[in-house]
Amino acid sequence: MHNFLPVAYFEGKFVPFEEANISIATHALHYGTGAFGGLRGIPHPQNSGQILLFRLDRHCQRLSKSARFLNFDLPADKIQSVIVDFIKKNAPTVSFYIRPFVYTSDLGIAPRLHKVEKDFFVYGLELGDYLSPEGVSCRISSWYRQEDRSLPLRGKISGAYITSSLAKTEAVESGFDEAILMNSQGKVSEASGMNVFLVRDGRLITPGFEQDILEGITRDSIIAIAKDLGIPVVERPVDKTELLIADEVFLSGTAAKITPVRQIESYHCSTHRPITDRLRDKLSAITEDADANYRDWVFKVDI
Ligand SMILES: Cc1ncc(COP(=O)(O)O)c(C=O)c1O
């Protein structure tokens, strides 16, 4: 059961979450013509009157760009101001997750993006750990990540998540925690809702943007942090076998943060993870506003 935050933003107004409902004829429900964001908020560990949002500007920009793929002009600063008001109205006291969603809100049939009304809503829910911080087992999915030539993969388009859903359920029903998907070129792409990193010989390696990945904001942050720590970072195509013999493997995402991988198929990864641990400690300090060098990544809302 989820604990939803009491107030949602829906059809241009703040309303009780229970009253934010859509019709069964909603266009996006049928055609997957929505796009979403997902960001975490936490109460400031030292100042109970403040909520911290990690890289709010980047999340709003990505959603605005996703909206463009839906033929919808929704400026990032509009999204940002709604999210800030949303937080003030809810005044959360525990860690939570915000889900802003843009979609074709018209009622009726015929898949298209022109001449169809669009709308934007925001709701939130309490969220602790999404994956076990102790580490997860991964299956190499029999489902492949979609290709950018058939879907705008730089947007978080709701319809694309059928593949993530198939992969995740296949993994869980066959005894694993998560799925790692290859792309159509047979290279490592990403997990069901996370980017993938590996460490080999002290270098941090992750598939590049041309590998049909989502442009993860956590991924971007980890790359910047690693560079600042003097860890060499390489963005390049990754083979499945490299994952199997890597010194360390981890997944990254807003929900998953940095989650170590402890097993891939029948291969067990080392539990000695010095680089993963370093990056994880740094990322968590940054999100808690405890690292002065990255304060501009943390947006503060006074509640
Ligand atoms: C498919 C997919 N890949 C990667 C990510 C990680 O992205 P971010 O770090 O921006 O949360 C997500 C999470 O939203 C995702 O859904």
The Cα–Cα gap between 276 and 247 comes to 10
For 163-174, the pLDDT digits (tens) are: 999 999 999 999
Query: Is the pLDDT assigned to residue 128 strictly greater than 90?
Result: no
Residue type at position 143 = W
The Cα–Cα gap between 254 and 214 comes to 12
Per-residue pLDDT at 48: 80
Task: Single out the residue of 191, 4, 154, 187 nearest to residue 67, CA to CA.
Answer: 154
> Any catalytic annotation for residue 300?
no
The pLDDT mean for the chain works out to 97
Indicate if ligand 1 lies below 6 Å from the C-beta of 258.
Answer: no
Please name the residues in contact with 249: beta carbons below 8 A apart, sequence gap of 6 or more.
196, 197, 198, 199, 243, 260, 261, 264, 269
- CA–centroid distance, 108 to ligand 1, in Å, is 30
- CA–centroid distance, 215 to ligand 1, in Å, is 7
Domain layout of the chain by residue ranges: 7-126, 136-287
pLDDT band for position 129 (cuts 50, 70, 90): confident
- For the record, the structure tokens of 15 come out as 């309303």
Over residues 195-205, the mean pLDDT reads 98
Task: Single out the residue of 18, 35, 41 nearest to residue 87, CA to CA.
Answer: 41
Residue with CA closest to ligand 1 atom 12: 193
Residue type at position 297 = W
Radius of gyration from C-alpha coordinates of the chain: 19
Indicate if ligand 1 lies below 6 Å from the C-beta of 38.
Answer: yes
- CA–centroid distance, 225 to ligand 1, in Å, is 18
Per-residue pLDDT at 68: 98
Specify the residue for token string 């999210």: 83
Instruction: Among 158, 254, 283, 287, name the best residue to mutate to test ligand 1's pocket (greatest count of ligand atoms within 8 A of Cβ).
Output: 254
Same fold, 7-126 and 136-287: no
For 215-234, the pLDDT digits (tens) are: 999 999 999 999 999 999 99
Indicate if ligand 1 lies below 6 Å from the C-beta of 79.
Answer: no
Task: Single out the residue of 77, 126, 82 nearest to residue 101, CA to CA.
Answer: 82
Per-residue pLDDT at 158: 98
Residue with CA closest to ligand 1 atom 6: 253
How many C-beta atoms surround the C-beta of residue 110 within 10 A?
10
Q: Is the distance from CB of 188 to CB of 236 less than 8 angstroms? A: no
Element (H, E) at 25: none
Task: Single out the residue of 24, 60, 45, 159 nearest to residue 95, CA to CA.
Answer: 45
DSSP 8-state class, residue 157: B
Active-site position among 89, 115, 118, 156? 156
Indicate if ligand 1 lies below 6 Å from the C-beta of 194.
Answer: yes
Indicate if ligand 1 lies below 6 Å from the C-beta of 269.
Answer: no
Task: Single out the residue of 117, 123, 22 nearest to residue 70, CA to CA.
Answer: 117
Tell me if the domain spanning 136-287 has CATH number 3.20.10.10.
Answer: yes
Residue with CA closest to ligand 1 atom 13: 193
CATH top class, domain 7-126: alpha beta
CA distances from 108 to 23, 34, 104, 112, 187 (A): 10, 15, 10, 11, 39
> Relative to the CA of 38, which ligand 1 atom is closest?
14
The Cα–Cα gap between 152 and 194 comes to 17
Over residues 25-40, the mean pLDDT reads 98
